[in-house]
Chains A and B, each alone.
Chain A
Amino acid sequence: MSFSFADLGTGALRAALPLAIWGIGAAAYAAAKRDGRALASARWSALITFLLVVLAALAMIGALVTHDFSIAYVARNNALETPLFFTVVSLWAALEGSILLWTAILAGATAYVAWRGTPALPRLATTALAVLFAMLTFFLLLVTTPAADPFVRSDIVPLNGNGPNPLLQNHPLMALHPPLLYLGYVLFSVPFAYAIASLILGEGGDRWLVATRRFALVSWALLGVGIVAGSWWSYAVLGWGGYWAWDPVENAAIMPWLVATAYLHSVMVEEKRRLLRSWNLSLVIATFALTILGTFLTRSGVVNSVHAFTQSAIGPLLLGYLVAIVVLSVGLLLWRLPTLRDAGAVGTPLSREAIFLFQNVVFVAATLTVLLGTLYPLIAEALSGAQLSIGRPYFDRVEVPLALALLFLMGIGPQLPWHGASRVTLERQFTAPIVAAAGGALLAVATALGGAFAVLTYALAAFVVATVVQEFARGIRARRALHGESASTAFANLLRRSGRRYGGYIVHLGIVLVAVAVATSQSKTVEVERTVSAGDHFEAAGYTVAFGGLRSVREPQRDLLVADLAITGNGADENLRPALLFFPNATQAVGSPGIAAGLHDDVYTILVAYDTSARSWATIRVLVIPLVSWLWLGGGVVGLGAVIAALPQPKRREVMRPLTEAPATVGD
């Protein structure tokens, strides 16, 4: 018998499944009986399961790279002429492969918890391990049954495959965006598993939350950066000049991120004030359920979207999984509710915990709005057969005011002390930020930014930046006074020694960049469309666009019709090549924009139409989009801030114990 990647992959997955099932029992037994041998068995099961799933993923990559069209997935998503890069990333270009990637990440998280979590928290982490094994079992069932078996053989082995979806082999971000999103999605399983474990054990405390704080932060950051990478991809590939369309898959990705953002903040309330215990559990459960709901919505063909893969048997299974998770989690939560009493009350409306609560309310309202907006066409059709659409006009109108409210809260929250502030402090703290906000508003008016929302965004952005600068200045001043450090050393030490706090402020700055980018690009984009002949040129927002003519380019996997454009003016001197791409497996040409990116504005060019007979003319659309690159920059700053906040801080004495509360109990 000769070697086949299909046999290797199938074999590895089939061997992993019983190990994962065994792991549920072993970990549960180890947790219940505090049995060391059972725990060791569960740990090794986790590690071997992980290695087997990685082996299966490598087998799929091997099959793709060697163009093994005897595997149906390879035949559908790869072709002999597909470039190596897009061949490898085809692992996640369609349903079965992406479920395999998902399973591999989940197996990795399970192995991590098995080896790194269980020594510190034997009972809690071991119970969480059993929960993780149960979830892993579900995904292994998917990839070993026809639901999402990636290694199904082709009935007839074709000489060449279809190649990936044209849209998915057009940009290197394809290598980054889906894995980041999946990592973010799947790593949130860990906080969820600990939360469930805490409920099962009836612990009532916040150990689950402290133990998984970093996991939650990292998965939140990966999800956030993955969303920004996705909007960058859609901006660079889809060719309409936008980066966010409130497409169901975008909505599916943003919903867990919104709830997770609420969670990351309300966690602090529980840590500092021993409040919101049941609320935090609810947020973790909701975040996790939304990751599964998103997968269900987009992978089952229930809603149409650019991203949705073809309809498959996986839909009902994911729906069943989602329902089971929600019913079991909510049931557990209700059962344990009496043990989840809060130790105290919220302070005045002008206390930090109150701002966190308002922030939570707004985040949850924003999420509910996205959720119902996404599902509403389905609901309306089921109820009355009415066909209707919920798109950008609805979401923009509803979410923008909520986003502005969040910016406002982001400015005041960090400035307020826990329990409440006096009026004198308020005035002292907020004088400079309010003056900055006025400056932001006037700047917006002076630069002719259209619309009250855009002006408000500038005002609030300046407000938040001023509060962050004020916080850093205060911290630096204090360190200089106490330790005699230079300003730069003090700054570095703030980030290193109090990374959670000051990293968080850096994240806030990243969000401000995103907000300013969105407000500016949405309200000041200039659009010019001209039909031109070779040698013609025209103006767009101070740039001169010269059309050099059309030409054909032949590449192994596709043909291109390229429009040569020269962009000059405003300090730019660039040659752009917007094109239409013709793939053998696609009936319609795919547009590919030519973009001259800049810190100040992007010149975004699209070849809209052309003279098909003599190629003597072409219609070119030019969008001059201001500050759009700040959006990607903002995503990077958010990621950087999250890294600073997630890095382990040097050990130090507990100086700032809360005044009225007992010290946290530690130990199992």
Chain B
Amino acid sequence: MTRERAVILVALLAIFGAVAWSAWPHETTAAERVDRITSELRCVTCQGLSVKDSPAASARQMRDLVVQRVAEGRTDDEIRGEFRASYGDWVLLSPPASSWTGLIWLVPVVALAAGLAVVVRRMRAIVPSAAAPSTRELAALRERVAREEALDLPQADGAE
């Protein structure tokens, strides 16, 4: 068992290392910045496509402006701010977290937390009864059932 545990540990370390390596912040190039900014801006003549994704002429003009601003050394916030000033919040494809509209970001967190709370409460509701087999016995039996389920035994008693 210790060998299996060691193998699992090494594998988990490798996964953690790989994820950490890929998540490590690196120097962003100008092109990456343009991609990031344009993917958050709405193409104003399309239906819901970003400036980055859209092949429309208006999106190309907005993209060119972003390229120019990045080359001028403006920050992401300044560039976004410029577009917000001319088109309003509507031009951003995700609502800024700063205003009340940013509450939308809480939806998944609240939904997950509420759901997990319900599930955990249901699991606590187990009352062990004296007549029932112990968890350990039950687990052993269940595992056997699971093993047998994987087969397709024609006769249950055949395995006895």
Contacts and interface: CB of A to CB of B under 8 A. Distances in A.
A interacts with B: yes
Contacts of A653: 154-156
B151 A422 contact: no
Contact count band on A: 35 or more
B123 A394 contact: no
A393 B55 contact: no
A321 to B, nearest CB: 26
A652 B154 contact: yes
A425 B153 contact: no
- How many residues of B sit at the interface, in one of the four size bands? 35 or more
Contacts, number: 238
B112 A362 contact: yes
Contacts of B60: 608
B150 A478 contact: yes
Contacts of B91: 389
B7 interface: yes
B71 interface: no
Q: Which 10 A-B pairs have the closest CB atoms?
A: A361-B115, A391-B93, A452-B23, A441-B18, A478-B151, A365-B111, A394-B94, A438-B11, A438-B14, A417-B146
18 contacts: A240-B49, A346-B122, A348-B123, A361-B112, A362-B115, A368-B107, A419-B139, A420-B138, A428-B4, A431-B7, A434-B12, A434-B15, A441-B15, A444-B18, A450-B22, A455-B22, A471-B150, A478-B151
Interface string A396-410: 011000100000000
B145 interface: yes
Nearest to A247: B48
A451 B32 CA distance: 13
Nearest to A448: B22
B8 A430 contact: yes
B22 A449 contact: yes
B48 A591 contact: no
Interface in B59-93: 60, 88-93
Interface string A650-668: 0011011011100000000
Contacts of B126: 345-347
Most buried by A among B88, B93, B141, B150: B150
A652 B154 CA distance: 7
A437 interface: yes
Contact of B55 (A347, A364, A606): A606
Given A366-B108, A402-B112, A451-B23, 6 more contacts: A348-B135, A389-B42, A398-B105, A438-B15, A442-B18, A652-B154
B42 A245 contact: no
A394 B89 CA distance: 14
A459 interface: yes
Contact of B93 (A376, A394, A435, A444): A394
Interface string A441-467: 110110001111011100100000000
Contacts of B127: 345
Given A368-B107, A392-B93, A621-B55, A349 B123 contact: yes
A51 to B, nearest CB: 40
Given A380-B101, A388-B90, A445-B18, A372 B107 contact: yes
Contacts of B15: 434, 437-438, 441, 459
Given A345-B125, A497-B152, A364 B94 contact: no
A78 B153 CA distance: 59
Contact of A387 (B10, B90, B108): B90
Interface in B12-26: 12, 14-15, 18-23
A494 B152 contact: yes
Interface string A123-163: 00000000000000000000000000000000000000000
A402 B119 contact: no
B55 A475 contact: no
Nearest to A593: B55
A455 B18 contact: yes
A170 interface: no
Contacts of B125: 345
